[in-house]
Structure 1
Amino acid sequence: MLPTVLVTGANGFLGRHLVTELLGRGYPVRALLRPGQPAANGPLPPLRELPIECVTGDICQPATVATAADGCGYILHAAALAQVNPARNPAVWATNYGGTETVLALARRADVARLVYVGTANVCGFGTKAAPGDETRPYNGRHYGLDYMDSKYAAAGLVQRAATAGLPAVLVHPTFMLGPGDAKPTSNALLLALYQGTLPGYPAGGKNYVHVRDVATAAVNALAQGRVGESYILGNENLSFREAFTLMGQVLGVAPPRWPLPPALAQLYGRLCDWKTRLTGRPAALNAAMAAVANDGHYFSARKARTELGLPQTPVGQAITEAFDWFKTHGYV
């Protein structure tokens, strides 16, 4: 019988796909849920209706999860607070850095055969389309002033140091995930905004996109494949925002934004939003850090993960189609 896998963040967008992938391969699954967190997530079936074990605890409060990994052979640590607005938020550090410290302690206590840490490609240095960033490039996101990026970079450092000290850990770093089942929604909210015509234009930058199911496949592969202590970018297609919005518009049957947003104008709008936030005490729709990110091209290569983790490369257009079909089926549009 295969070892039990503890999955943190099991009720999230990627977490649900991880659970599905694990069950499809015959792994027993133990899902860690926060106290008070419903096992149901929007229209998705409750986790407790799946053939898995659910335990309760908060990785920000180590005492509540002290035995969560006992008896598990593997840990898939996907829990994170992917919040970028406001740009600075102590809760982001508590979850992404402090929570990772907790999970590393669980892995040592349970003496797991492997820990797979799910980070973000932004902890690697991004590049251009002609020379995309990879796992060898140093982190260059600190100048944005985003606690999300900084905390994930710091957490990845924790995992790498633990691996150097003997913990069998592998790090996987997804790019921008699209696909079905985004109940909250999170990254796929971009599709809804485009469909509803609320995007005023397209920024100057771009990013790498990947199907969430491909990420889940490679992350589960990493339980047995890949090298301890190594990082793997899980991505696929590099697209400028203009290219991405055009593709999304074709799939959704709507016209994409027509007008480019000059970087200076985007940055000015971000600063005005910051001013509004300080004045009202409530986060605006955007902030200066988010505008700065959108002005840059966050392009990456996933060659290493394709070679060593068997990362699939589902066309991004298919990911968009499946995501939008799921939204339509479940009444989001």
Structure 2
Amino acid sequence: MILVTGGTGLVGSHLLFQLVSEKTKVRAIYRREKTLARVKTVFAYYSDDAERLFDSIDWVAADINDIPALEQAFKGVTQVYHCAAFVSFEPDKYNQLRKINIKGTANIVNLSISHEIKKLCYVSSIAAIGQAMDANAFITEKTDWNPEKDNSVYAITKYGAELEVWRGTQEGINAVIVNPGIILGPGFWNGGGSSSLIKNIHKGLKHYPTGSSAYVDVWDTVKVMQLLMESTIKNERFIVISENRSFKSFQEQAAKALHIAPAQKKAGKLLLGIAWRLDWLNHKLFGRRRKLSKQMAKSISGKTLYDHSKIRKALNYSFRDLDDSIEKVCKIYLKDTENKPS
């Protein structure tokens, strides 16, 4: 039996589809029943038999900080894919991020130890990788994390979660950690992640940031995770990206696939500096949710280059062309938009 946490998220739902399509015995954790509809939506993208595939999953209602419920979920499990996480860059969400990302991961690790799980795969992020001193230097799995830097609250908690996994490897767990870039995939257009970025581009963005980041689609991410779990590789971490690309180039390619005009105005460091300060002021004066933190503004203004050679060599793996990934996601988005009731 394989256990998947975060099964109602982008990565988790696509992973579940792959596993049940291969007739693998799967148990998945969910917190709120209404989120199960997202999984059915994802399954329906790829199969006319989505309902049956969905029903083949052993669903368990459990929070990753609810130990008694997790104990039940772990019964008979031999492998764990830990995909559950809270994604936010809002500084005031730090305690919630710690509770879910660090404490929740510690719970999964502890139960994996006590139940003698054969292998654990943890879905981390490139945010938990260190930053290169030189903007033109490639960031690798060995790039040191610098706790003195002005890291985002999300990055801090994902790094803390990785430390819990490494602790588990010292206590007998075989584990692999994947550090994906920005994950492109369909079905979560209102979720605030990369899928919602496609929606925002379609609505019409006026500005593009001057920095760059690394991207990978959800299909490659899931495939790499499965291959790592099926391999003899253990106690290693891997950067999982298809390509490094500027935000301008990404927005242009997505706009092309969505048949709209791309953003024309540059959002430089000065403009973003003003924007995050106004965002902070709105939060303080009116209690509005943060949309742009200081750390995020800095991140999207800077150039970063990530090296994916380790995973390519380890699995002899070739990633999908990023333009093809963008095209595929945008095509599904447009179809969903056309089918949405008015």
- The TM-score with structure 2 as length reference comes to 0.89
Determine the structure 2 residue equivalent to 1:26: 23
Q: Distance in 1 between matches of 2:92 and 2:308?
A: 28
- Show the 5 A alignment for 1:247-266: 247-266=253-272
- Taking structure 1 as reference, are residues 202 and 184 closer, same or farther at Cα in structure 2, changes over 3 Å only? closer
Q: Distance in 1 between matches of 2:9 and 2:272?
A: 30
Q: Distance in 2 between matches of 1:12 and 1:165?
A: 29
- How far did residue 310 of structure 1 move? 4.6
How many percent identity over aligned positions?
A: 25
Equivalent residue for 1:316, pick from 311, 316, 322: 322
Instruction: Verify the 8 A CA contact 2:189 2:195 in the aligned structure 1.
Output: no
Determine the structure 1 residue equivalent to 2:207: 201
**What CA deviation, in whole Å up to 9, does each residue of 1:26-45 have, x standing for no partner?**
32110111155542128446
Q: Distance in 2 between matches of 1:203 and 1:29?
A: 41
- Show the 5 A alignment for 1:119-158: 119-127=124-132, 130-140=136-146, 143-158=149-164
Equivalent residue for 1:243, pick from 245, 249, 252: 249
Determine the structure 1 residue equivalent to 2:113: 108
Q: Distance in 2 between matches of 1:311 and 1:271?
A: 43
Q: Distance in 2 between matches of 1:65 and 1:121?
A: 28
- Show the 5 A alignment for 1:82-97: 82-86=87-91, 88-97=93-102
- How far did residue 87 of structure 1 move? 5.4
Q: Distance in 1 between matches of 2:88 and 2:239?
A: 20
- How far did residue 272 of structure 1 move? 1.3
Equivalent residue for 2:183, pick from 177, 186, 189: 177
Determine the structure 2 residue equivalent to 1:289: 295
- How far did residue 179 of structure 1 move? 2.4
**What CA deviation, in whole Å up to 9, does each residue of 1:180-236 have, x standing for no partner?**
333543212111111111x23111211001111000000111212263221011101
Matched pairs, number? 329
- Show the 5 A alignment for 1:292-311: 292-311=298-317
Q: Distance in 2 between matches of 1:117 and 1:39?
A: 22
Q: Distance in 1 between matches of 2:224 and 2:172?
A: 23
Q: 2:54 is matched by which residue type in structure 1?
A: E
**What CA deviation, in whole Å up to 9, does each residue of 1:267-293 have, x standing for no partner?**
221111111101111214322222111
Q: 10-19 or 298-307, which moves further after superposition?
A: 298-307
Equivalent residue for 1:168, pick from 169, 174, 195: 174
Q: SS at the partner of 1:272?
A: helix
Q: Distance in 2 between matches of 1:164 and 1:10?
A: 27
- How far did residue 146 of structure 1 move? 2.2
Q: Distance in 2 between matches of 1:316 and 1:154?
A: 30
Q: 54-63 or 124-133, which moves further after superposition?
A: 124-133
Q: Distance in 1 between matches of 2:143 and 2:164?
A: 18
Q: 86-95 or 160-169, which moves further after superposition?
A: 86-95
Q: SS at the partner of 1:143?
A: coil
Structure 1 unaligned blocks of 5 or more: none
Determine the structure 1 residue equivalent to 2:46: none
Q: Distance in 2 between matches of 1:288 and 1:47?
A: 46
Q: SS at the partner of 1:15?
A: helix
Q: 2:268 is matched by which residue type in structure 1?
A: P
Q: 1:66 is matched by which residue type in structure 2?
A: E
Instruction: Verify the 8 A CA contact 1:126 1:297 in the aligned structure 2.
Output: no
Q: 42-51 or 178-187, which moves further after superposition?
A: 42-51
Q: 2:185 is matched by which residue type in structure 1?
A: G
Q: Distance in 2 between matches of 1:330 and 1:241?
A: 24
Which has a greater percent of helix? Answer: 2
Determine the structure 2 residue equivalent to 1:64: 69
- Taking structure 1 as reference, are residues 50 and 181 closer, same or farther at Cα in structure 2, changes over 3 Å only? farther
- Taking structure 1 as reference, are residues 31 and 142 closer, same or farther at Cα in structure 2, changes over 3 Å only? farther
- How far did residue 155 of structure 1 move? 0.6
Q: Distance in 1 between matches of 2:135 and 2:225?
A: 25
Instruction: Verify the 8 A CA contact 1:205 1:294 in the aligned structure 2.
Output: yes
Aligned-residue RMSD, C-alpha: 2.2
Q: 1:106 is matched by which residue type in structure 2?
A: L
Instruction: Verify the 8 A CA contact 2:189 2:198 in the aligned structure 1.
Output: no
